[in-house]
Amino acid sequence: MKIGIVGLGFVGLSLSSVLASKGYEVIGIDNDIKKSEKISKGKLPFFEPDLEKTLKNGLRKKLTISNNFSLIEVCDIIFVTVGTPQKLNGTIELSIIKKAVKEIGKVIKKSKKNQIIFIKSTVIPGTLLNVILPIIEKESSKKNGRGFELISNPEFLQESRAIQDTKFPHAVVLGGYKNKNMQKAKNFFSKLHSKTPIIITNHQTAEMVKYANNSFLATKISFINQLSNICQNIPGSNIDDIAKIIGLDPRIGGKFLNAGPGYGGSCLPKDMKALIKFASDVGINPALLNAVEKINENQINEIILLITKEIGIISSKHITILGTAFKPNTDDVRESISIELIKKLLNKKAKITIYDPKATENTKNIFGDKIIYSKSLIDALNGSQCAIIMTQWKEFENLNNIIIKKMKKKIIIDCRRILAGSKLNAKYYALGIGK
C-alpha cells in the first residue's frame, strides 16, 4: 500500500510521519521547496511535541519527502492536507486546494491505479462535489467511482498533540458514496485504528461535521468565558470550580471549559467566520454563532479593563506579557489573543516585554524591534510594572516571590489562573475569580 500526502502542515506532516513509522510507504509532497528540503533532513518547519522523533523514525523507514507531484502516480491512496486559509470577507480561500487537486488530477490521468483521494482540508459543505470533483474529473479525464474515488475525511487533531491525535483519533469520518471503494477506505482505517468508531456518511455531511465540531468547541469556550466574567463580579467565586463541577455532568463534559482570554489559533476563529458566512448565505440567521464570536472578541476588553483598573493610564508603563503562543506546547502565534493584546497595548503606548518558551521567533516576525524579547521568565519581569499571563505554559507555574522580586510594581493579571493557589507578595488578579 503506497500513500501520497499532499501538503505538509501540522496535519499532513503528522500523518506522513505516523503512517511511515507504522511501515507504510509514504510520499509526502509540499510545493514549498525550502520546506520540503528541510523536512527531508528530519527538521521541522514548526514546533510540535513528538513530531521530530516520529518524522525521523518515518524517514528511516519508508518516508519520501518531495515537491514533485508526479511521484504520487504510484500511490493507492492520496490524502489532501493543504491549508484553506481565511479571506477578509470570512469565506475560505480555495486557491491552494484547487491547485493541489488540479495537479493530482493530472498525475492520476496517467495512473492505472484506482486511487482513493481523501480530502482532509477543511472546506464548506458542497465544496467537494461542486468545486473539487469537477477539477479532478476534468484534469484526469476520469469519472468519480471509475478510475478514482473522492472521499471527505475531516481531521480533528489539535496542534500540540498532533501525533497522539493522529495515532488515536476519537472518530474517523468518511464522506462519500457507499460503494466498493468506500469499503476499501473503511478497511484501511479499521486496520490503522482498530478501536476507533468509523462513521460513513455523504460528502456534504462530512464537510459540515468539521464545522459542527469546531463551532461547538468555540461555543463551550465562549460560554465559560461569559460565566467567568460574571464570576469576576461575585466576590470569592471561582470559575475553575464551577467548570469542574458542571463538567462532571456527563451531558456537559469537562473538556474545553477552561476560561481564559478567548480562543485563538488558525482553526477555531477561521471556521467560526466561515460557518457564520455560510449560514447567512443559505438564509439562516446564525444568532448563537454570532454571539459566540462576539463574546470571544470582547474577552480582550475584559483584560484591558483589568489592566487599566490596576495600573491606571497605560501609556509608557512597562508591561510584561507571559506567553504569545495561542496555546501551550506550540510556537504558533496565528490569531493568538496575546498578539492582539500586545497590538492594543502598543497603540496605547505601553512598553512591552514578552517571554514565551517557544514562540519568540514567530512573535519577532510580527513586532520586530517594537517590543523587547526576554530569554527567561525572571528577565522578562525585571523592572516590570504589570505582568499578564496569557498562555497556559507549565513553566509559568514556577513564578514565585523570588522570580517576581525585581518587578517594579508587583501586579500580576493571570488570564489562565495558573497561580491561583500560590502565595505571592503581589497584587494578584485572576480572570474568573471574583474579588
The residue (of 83 and 105) whose beta carbon lies closer to ligand UGA is: 83
Closest approach, Cβ 16 to ligand UGA, in A, equals: 16
- Assess 7 for contact with ligand UGA (CB under 6 A): no
Closest approach, Cβ 299 to ligand UGA, in A, equals: 9
* Residue choice 268, 339, 404, 407 for contact with ligand UGA (CB under 6 A): 268
The residue (of 142 and 327) whose beta carbon lies closer to ligand UGA is: 327
* 3-state per-residue secondary structure call for the chain: CEEEEECCCHHHHHHHHHHHHCCCEEEEECCCHHHHHHHHCCCCCCCCCCHHHHHHHHHHCCEEEECCHHHHHHCCEEEECCCCCECCCCCECCHHHHHHHHHHHHHHHCCCCCEEEEECCCCCCCHHHHHHHHHHHHHHCCEECEEEEEEECCCCCCCCCHHHHHHCCCCEEEECCCCHHHHHHHHHHHHHCCCCCEEEECHHHHHHHHHHHHHHHHHHHHHHHHHHHHHCCCCCCEHHHHHHHHHCCCCCCCCCCCCCCCCCCCCHHHHHHHHHHHHHHCCCCCHHHHHHHHHHHHHHHHHHHHHHHHHCCCCCCEEEEECCCCCCCCCCCCCCHHHHHHHHHHHCCCEEEEECCCCHHHHHHHHHHHCEECCCHHHHHCCCCEEEECCCCHHHHHCCCCCCCCCCCCEEEECCCCCCCCCCCCEEEECCECC
- Assess 223 for contact with ligand UGA (CB under 6 A): no
Positions in 99-158 near ligand UGA (CB under 6 A): 122, 155-158
How many residues lie near ligand UGA (CB under 6 A)? 20
* Residue choice 48, 159, 302, 340 for contact with ligand UGA (CB under 6 A): 159
Q: Say which residues have a Cβ less than 8 Å from residue 262's Cβ, sequence separation at least 6.
A: 221, 222, 225, 295, 296, 297, 299, 300, 337
The residue (of 129 and 224) whose beta carbon lies closer to ligand UGA is: 224
The residue (of 59 and 276) whose beta carbon lies closer to ligand UGA is: 276
The residue (of 28 and 264) whose beta carbon lies closer to ligand UGA is: 264
Closest approach, Cβ 275 to ligand UGA, in A, equals: 12
Closest approach, Cβ 321 to ligand UGA, in A, equals: 15
Catalytic pick among 75, 267, 386, 415: 267
The residue (of 298 and 382) whose beta carbon lies closer to ligand UGA is: 298
226: phi then psi, degrees, rounded to nearest 5: -65, -45
- Assess 217 for contact with ligand UGA (CB under 6 A): yes
Closest approach, Cβ 435 to ligand UGA, in A, equals: 21
Cell numbers at 175, concatenated: 464522506
Q: Is the dihedral of CA 408, 410, 411, 417 positive or negative?
A: positive
Closest approach, Cβ 334 to ligand UGA, in A, equals: 9
Closest approach, Cβ 218 to ligand UGA, in A, equals: 8
The residue (of 256 and 428) whose beta carbon lies closer to ligand UGA is: 256
Give the residue carrying C-alpha cell 514562540. 359
267 catalytic per annotation: yes
Binding mask 226-265 for ligand UGA (x = CB under 6 A): ------------------------------xxx-x--xxx
Binding mask 317-356 for ligand UGA (x = CB under 6 A): ---------xx-----------------------------
- Residues annotated as catalytic (active site), given as ranges: 267
Binding site for ligand UGA (CB under 6 A): 122, 155-159, 214, 217, 221, 256-258, 260, 263-265, 267-268, 326-327
